[in-house]
Amino acid sequence: MKNSLLFAMVFTIFSCKQNEEKTIIPENNFAQNEKIAKELFVHFNNHDWRKMADLYSEKAEFKEPASGMVAHQKSKDMIIKEYSELQNQFPDVQDSVVSVYPSGDKNVIVEFVSKGTLPNQSKFELPICTIFTIENGKITKDYTYFDNSK
């Protein structure tokens, strides 16, 4: 009886220790994922599309209003081309991060405001929310949401 009680106590303590270690890993992922997400916005604001694209996996999955919120893949070259075209339309485009929210061990949600000047010289501000999925240090999914009706 004593041995089984001792075994149960050791097993319980050992199990709790293992669970404690498991909760530390996602916190490290949170910090790393947040760093990657924030780095993306630094490159965006510098209009360094190559460095920004390098944060993505070779074929990252995107959802965005322009595609009707249908999931599709983009290569790094496609990302560079798309953002170069955006810069041609809005040369002063900049994003201001409002908040970064970790979600699980692979996701980061970023709330930000995109600002710039339209071709008619009027200014725009567009609140946006993006959910990034980050695996093995690369963004594998980029799901972006904003009000496309204005």
Q: pTM of the entire structure? A: 0.79
Give residue-wise pLDDT tens across range 26-60.
556 888 999 999 999 999 999 999 999 999 999 99
Q: What percent of the chain has pLDDT over 70?
A: 81
68 in Cβ contact with 78 (< 8 Å) = no
CA–CA distance, 126 with 97 (Å, rounded to integer): 12
Tokens of 136: 């093995």
Residue-range domains of the chain with CATH:
2-145 (3.10.450.50)
139 in Cβ contact with 132 (< 8 Å) = yes
Q: What's the confidence (pLDDT) of residue 95?
A: 98
Q: What's the confidence (pLDDT) of residue 24?
A: 44
Among 133, 11, 6, residue whose Cα is nearest residue 60: 133
Q: What's the confidence (pLDDT) of residue 27?
A: 56
Helix (H) or strand (E) holding 59: strand 56-63
